[in-house]
């Protein structure tokens, strides 16, 4: 309720003695008339769709590789989970150093094969993909872990029966494994989509929304309006819009998860 109250008032940080006049929906109208807001929304959509899609594919591939018995499987699984155990700020700092134009490991690898150095975080076209790469590195193991748990919970009987009937491995995977994995995959996608939508730590550490506004996603857009321009009421209205947007994303996924569990139960 406090957030809703702030969103309908003109609240400017360090000018609170001037009062907090009620302005109705003016903050929301101003947001919808701000082209930068729609740019931030577009960048956030690209970020969410790309990171979640790549992480899902990599997580599924890694889970399938680890869903078998071989020597050292536990050690390999633990090693792959290490990135997700690190704080996002630490990951952002680490990748920022790796991207460094002067001493980054990526610059060394490029020059060692005759490719000129690149401004990964200083280029409007490369900054967002560079952040996406860092996020994929950290959170693909999360997808892997959830999907691996789902794979190991699938009963062996229908798979063995299908193989005895002559079904190929690809057919078994497409017709049996994937449908049984659907609820688990949807849960993983839901959790990662929500987390990616509100990503702030890595963007703040690596680019602070730059260069220009090329990485100014919604979370960064909100932060700048609140703590760089001091428009707290305006920023609160943005946060409420983000909450509504997350609800719009989550609701159909939750319904799909519920329907998948019902079908699995039948």
CA dist 24 and 257 (Å) reads 38
Among residues 22, 222, 1, which one has the least CA distance to residue 11?
22
pLDDT of 195 > 90? The answer is yes
Quick one: which H or E segment has residue 89? Answer: helix 88-99
Residues 200-243: pLDDT tens digits?
999 999 999 999 999 999 999 999 999 999 999 999 999 999 99
Look at residue 72 in the predicted model and tell me its pLDDT. Answer: 86
Dist CA 222 CA 242 (whole Å): 10
Q: C-alpha angle with apex 186: 154 to 172, nearest 5 degrees?
A: 40
Cα-flanking dihedrals φ and ψ of residue 22, to 5°?
A: -75, 125
DSSP 102-140: TT-HHHHHHHHTTPPP--TTTSTTTHHHHHHHHHHHHHH
Q: CA angle, 219 as apex, 102 and 33 as ends, to 5°?
A: 115
Q: Which domain holds residue 164?
A: 2-265
Our count of domains for the chain comes to: 1
- Mean residue pLDDT across the chain: 91
Q: What is the pLDDT of residues 96-122, one digit of tens each?
A: 999 999 999 999 999 999 999 999 999
Spatial neighbors of 94 by CB under 8 A, at least 6 apart, are 86
In angstroms, rounded to a whole number, what is the distance separating the alpha carbons of residues 133 and 86?
A: 16
Please write the tens of the pLDDT for every residue from 121-177: 999 999 999 999 999 999 999 999 999 999 988 888 887 788 887 777 788 888 888
Angle between helices 178-197 and 232-265 (to 10 degrees): 170
Write the CB contacts of 76 (distance below 8 Å, at least 6 apart in sequence).
66
How far, in Å, CA of 209 to CA of 188, rounded?
27
Average pLDDT over residues 56-60: 96
SS3 255: helix
pLDDT at residue 260 greater than cutoff 80: no
Which CATH number fits the domain that encloses residue 258?
1.10.3720.10
State if pTM tops 0.75: yes
- pLDDT value at position 264? 62
Residue 135 makes CB contacts below 8 A (sequence gap 6+) with 47, 51, 55, 196, 199, 202
């Amino acid at each position: 309720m406090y957030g809703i109250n702030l969103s309908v008032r003109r609240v400017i940080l360090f000018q609170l003695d001037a009062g907090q006049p009620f302005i109705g929906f003016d903050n929301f109208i101003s947001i919808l008339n701000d082209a930068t807001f729609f740019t931030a929304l577009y960048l956030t959509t690209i970020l969410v769709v790309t990171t979640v899609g790549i992480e899902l594919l990599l997580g599924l591939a890694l889970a399938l590789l680890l869903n078998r018995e071989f020597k050292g499987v536990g050690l390999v699984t633990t090693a792959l989970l290490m990135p997700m155990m690190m704080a996002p700020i630490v990951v952002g700092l680490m990748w920022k150093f790796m991207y460094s134009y002067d001493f980054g490991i990526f610059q060394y690898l490029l020059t060692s094969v005759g490719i000129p150095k690149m401004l990964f975080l200083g280029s409007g076209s490369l900054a967002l993909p560079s952040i996406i790469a860092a996020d994929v590195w950290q959170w693909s193991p999360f997808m892997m872990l959830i999907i691996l748990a789902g794979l190991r919970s699938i009963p062996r009987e229908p798979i063995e029966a299908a193989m005895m009937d002559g079904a190929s491995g690809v057919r078994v995977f497409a017709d049996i494994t994937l449908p049984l994995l659907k609820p688990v995959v949807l849960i993983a996608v839901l959790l990662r989509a929500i987390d990616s939508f509100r990503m702030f730590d890595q963007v703040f550490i690596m680019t602070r929304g730059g260069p220009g506004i090329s990485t100014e996603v919604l979370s960064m857009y909100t932060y700048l309006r609140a703590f760089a321009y001091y428009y707290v009421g305006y920023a609160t209205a943005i946060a409420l819009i983000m909450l509504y947007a997350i609800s719009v994303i989550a609701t159909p996924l939750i319904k799909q998860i519920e329907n998948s569990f019902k079908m699995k139960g039948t």
